[in-house]
């Protein structure tokens, strides 16, 4: 838990510069005891909490309204004036701790994993890249703003892209097709602009790699994700596991879906619609969702119920979609205030329930990890973080009648497994595409689109894009991670392997799964991803046959 904060003080570069200089001047002299280093570490930790909190607050505000100029400027100030200063000073302090003559004693006192993390951060730090990272953040936020501000018209109704996409599950085929066509037309109108934004980002990242003396961005991309347990070779083998064990099942499923639809093939506007399963556009009215979620968590576990209630009471959940609000959903912490917040875009569909339970999974971990004093150890790497969120999606199934009638609850459960089945291959597409992009600097737009299509066909067959080749080739533009957080995507598949194991555990013994889940939340980021799997009693995602029994269970449930 953070002890000292300066929430009322304005964060200026001059003040921050002074604060860092005081820490650097206070670095222990030769012969100092470990305790002096520790004291300094905690002072540094407080400063990091403040900066992190300030970043999250400004980012949250910016995402809440893409048209809020003041919020945009406040975030730009953070990116341009604060973060570069903090990054450079953090590197100085980090280096001092890594070179400390009493490092062994510090590792025992503060944790060895912390030092592994500091080492990795230091390895990823290149002074020449600080300015490039500022530009990268600016261009990324441009992507968010363009999409957040986008509106399309469907049958005379003007909608955000998020609301338009929600109509892809509408039972009326004409509505689905109109929604798909309108969003696709928007994508194609912005094809050159999206390529342009991505060009700038890819070029910047390639330059960062060159500055580090590396041939391409892949190793730096992995380091930035904090990955210590695996590299591109393990990820390739993991994608192979998806191709071998999930893709064939998906193919069979799409054939069954076409039969249910009464069509020869599954067309893109039908891909997210499953006859007899779709729950309709307003199955969970947004105004009921918080009370229903409270009911769900009350039934699941008192600890979860308490955290949720505190968030609702504290106004820490921004739930509904509205014009100008940026798309997507996330959880984040205001570390200096000891608060966790979530951001959703609820529109009334069953997908909202998935998103809300997902983001609450992150939030539960955030609250449970608060007693971990080092901010660097509170959140694990995202591949482990997503176990909390995706695991909660599965654990929630048991009490999901808090949101749905018993019949709809059965449908929702089935839909959840279908989502897993369709998600894993799609993740492999996004991941394979990104590796290709960064392994081929200087590629053309046509080559880029061809690489996407090839990855799509390899892992994710079964949707008929005949006559709609442009739509297929530009489908990646919809995926924010590709632009904003390179390589952050396979994490979801790695975590889903953990989440599926929690699901199997819960089917046998719900209390046991709940205990394992809370333990995973409590340890936060004190271990690397494989250490987290181990702590939850879960098999490593990189074991060769890990997919087989899990997919057999999914196939049995779905009857395909």
- Which residues lie near Zn ion (CB under 5 A)? 386, 389
Instruction: Give min distance, CB of 296 to Zn ion, in A.
Output: 18
Name the residue nearer to Zn ion (CB basis): 411 or 416: 416
Instruction: Give min distance, CB of 364 to Zn ion, in A.
Output: 12
Instruction: Give min distance, CB of 329 to Zn ion, in A.
Output: 8
Name the residue nearer to Zn ion (CB basis): 160 or 389: 389
Closest by alpha carbon to 331, among 346, 321, 316?
Answer: 316
Q: Tally the residues of the chain.
A: 560
Cβ neighbour number for residue 108 with a 10 Å cutoff: 10
Q: How far is residue 200's CA from residue 188's CA, in Å, rounded to a whole number?
A: 19
Beta bridge partners of 332: 341
- Answer yes or no: are the C-beta atoms of 479 and 430 closer than 8 Å: yes
Dihedral (CA of 221, 225, 477, 250) sign = positive
Name the residue nearer to Zn ion (CB basis): 106 or 363: 363
Token pair, residue 181, equals: 């066509």
Closest by alpha carbon to 522, among 532, 508, 509, 530?
Answer: 532
Instruction: Give min distance, CB of 493 to Zn ion, in A.
Output: 12
Name the residue nearer to Zn ion (CB basis): 386 or 464: 386
Name the residue nearer to Zn ion (CB basis): 23 or 428: 428
- Answer yes or no: are the C-beta atoms of 536 and 387 closer than 8 Å: yes
Name the residue nearer to Zn ion (CB basis): 140 or 332: 332
Name the residue nearer to Zn ion (CB basis): 335 or 393: 393
Instruction: Give min distance, CB of 390 to Zn ion, in A.
Output: 7
Torsion of CA 111, 115, 118, 120, to 10 degrees: -120
Token pair, residue 261, equals: 């639809």
DSSP class of residue 328? S
Instruction: Give min distance, CB of 473 to Zn ion, in A.
Output: 27
Name the residue nearer to Zn ion (CB basis): 462 or 486: 486
Name the residue nearer to Zn ion (CB basis): 102 or 331: 331
Contacts of 344 (CB under 8 A, 6+ apart): 317, 318, 319, 320, 329, 352, 355, 356, 359
Q: How far is residue 115's CA from residue 98's CA, in Å, rounded to a whole number?
A: 7
Closest by alpha carbon to 395, among 282, 266, 276, 514?
Answer: 514
DSSP element (H, E) containing 478: none
Q: How far is residue 177's CA from residue 271's CA, in Å, rounded to a whole number?
A: 11
The pair phi, psi for residue 249, each rounded to 5°, is -65, -40
Name the residue nearer to Zn ion (CB basis): 97 or 426: 426
Instruction: Give min distance, CB of 393 to Zn ion, in A.
Output: 10
Name the residue nearer to Zn ion (CB basis): 346 or 389: 389
Name the residue nearer to Zn ion (CB basis): 100 or 389: 389
Instruction: Give min distance, CB of 491 to Zn ion, in A.
Output: 8
Instruction: Give min distance, CB of 316 to Zn ion, in A.
Output: 17
Instruction: Give min distance, CB of 137 to Zn ion, in A.
Output: 20
- Answer yes or no: are the C-beta atoms of 62 and 71 closer than 8 Å: yes
Q: What share of the chain is helix, strand, coil (3-state, %, to 5)?
A: 70, 5, 25
Instruction: Give min distance, CB of 310 to Zn ion, in A.
Output: 20
Cβ neighbour number for residue 65 with a 10 Å cutoff: 18
Q: How far is residue 406's CA from residue 395's CA, in Å, rounded to a whole number?
A: 17
Instruction: Give min distance, CB of 76 to Zn ion, in A.
Output: 26
Three-state SS for 421-451 is: HHHHHHHHHHHHHHHHHHHCCCCCHHHHHHH
Instruction: Give min distance, CB of 389 to Zn ion, in A.
Output: 4
Q: How far is residue 491's CA from residue 191's CA, in Å, rounded to a whole number?
A: 27
Instruction: Give min distance, CB of 386 to Zn ion, in A.
Output: 5
Residue nearest to Zn ion (CB): 389
Closest by alpha carbon to 47, among 76, 77, 87?
Answer: 87
Residue that is written with structure tokens 């210590």 in the block: 228
Name the residue nearer to Zn ion (CB basis): 229 or 393: 393
> 3-state class of 361 per DSSP?
helix
> Count of H helices and E strands in the chain?
25, 5
DSSP class of residue 325? P
Name the residue nearer to Zn ion (CB basis): 376 or 386: 386
């Amino acid at each position: 838990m953070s002890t000292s904060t300066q929430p009322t003080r304005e964060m200026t570069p001059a003040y921050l510069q002074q604060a860092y200089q005081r820490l650097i001047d206070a670095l222990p002299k030769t012969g100092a005891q470990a305790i002096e280093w520790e004291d300094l570490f905690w002072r540094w930790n407080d400063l990091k909490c403040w900066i992190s909190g300030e970043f999250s607050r400004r980012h949250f505000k910016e995402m809440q309204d893409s048209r809020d100029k003041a919020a945009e400027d406040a975030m730009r100030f953070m990116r341009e004036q604060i973060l570069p200063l903090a990054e450079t000073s953090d590197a100085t302090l980090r280096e001092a701790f890594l070179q400390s003559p009493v490092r062994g004693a510090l590792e025992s006192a503060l944790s060895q994993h912390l030092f592994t993390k500091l080492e990795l951060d230091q390895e990823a730090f290149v002074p020449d890249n600080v300015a490039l990272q500022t530009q990268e953040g600016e261009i990324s936020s441009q992507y968010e703003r363009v999409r957040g501000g986008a509106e399309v018209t469907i049958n005379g109704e003007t909608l955000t892209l998020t609301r338009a996409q929600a109509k892809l599950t509408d039972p009326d085929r004409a509505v689905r097709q109109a929604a798909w066509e309108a969003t696709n037309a928007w994508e194609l109108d912005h094809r050159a602009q999206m390529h342009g934004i991505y060009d700038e980002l890819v070029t910047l990242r390639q330059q960062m790699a060159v500055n580090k003396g590396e041939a391409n961005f892949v190793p730096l991309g992995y380091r930035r994700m904090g990955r210590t347990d695996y590299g591109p070779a393990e990820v390739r083998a993991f994608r192979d596991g998806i191709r071998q064990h999930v893709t064939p099942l998906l193919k069979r499923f799409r054939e069954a879906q076409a039969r249910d639809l009464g069509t020869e093939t599954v067309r893109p506007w039908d891909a997210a619609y499953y006859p007899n399963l779709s729950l309709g556009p307003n199955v969970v009215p947004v105004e009921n969702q918080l009370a229903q979620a409270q009911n769900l968590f009350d039934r699941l576990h008192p600890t979860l119920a308490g955290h949720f209630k505190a968030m609702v009471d504290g106004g820490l959940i921004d739930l509904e979609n509205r014009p100008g609000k940026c798309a997507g959903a996330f959880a984040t912490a205001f570390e200096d205030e000891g608060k966790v917040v979530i951001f959703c875009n609820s529109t009334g569909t069953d997908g909202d329930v998935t998103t809300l339970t997902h983001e609450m999974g992150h939030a539960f971990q955030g609250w449970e990890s608060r007693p971990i004093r080092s901010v660097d150890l509170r959140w694990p790497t995202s591949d482990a973080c997503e176990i909390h969120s995706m695991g909660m999606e599965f654990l929630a199934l048991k009490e999901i009648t808090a949101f749905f009638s018993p019949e709809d609850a059965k449908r929702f459960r089935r839909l959840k497994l279908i989502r897993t089945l369709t998600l894993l291959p799609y993740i492999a597409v996004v991941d394979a595409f990104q590796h290709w992009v960064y392994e081929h600097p200087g590629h053309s737009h046509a080559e880029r689109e061809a690489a996407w299509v090839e990855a799509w066909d390899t892992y994710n067959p079964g949707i008929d894009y005949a006559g709609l080749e442009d739509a297929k080739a530009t489908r990646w533009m919809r995926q924010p991670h590709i632009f904003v957080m390179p390589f952050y995507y396979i994490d979801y598949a790695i975590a889903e392997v953990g989440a599926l194991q929690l699901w199997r555990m819960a089917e046998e013994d719900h209390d046991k799964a709940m205990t394992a889940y809370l333990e995973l939340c409590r340890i936060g980021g004190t271990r690397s991803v494989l250490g987290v799997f181990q702590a939850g009693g879960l098999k490593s995602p990189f074991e060769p046959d890990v997919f087989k029994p899990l997919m057999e269970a999914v196939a049995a449930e779905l009857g395909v």
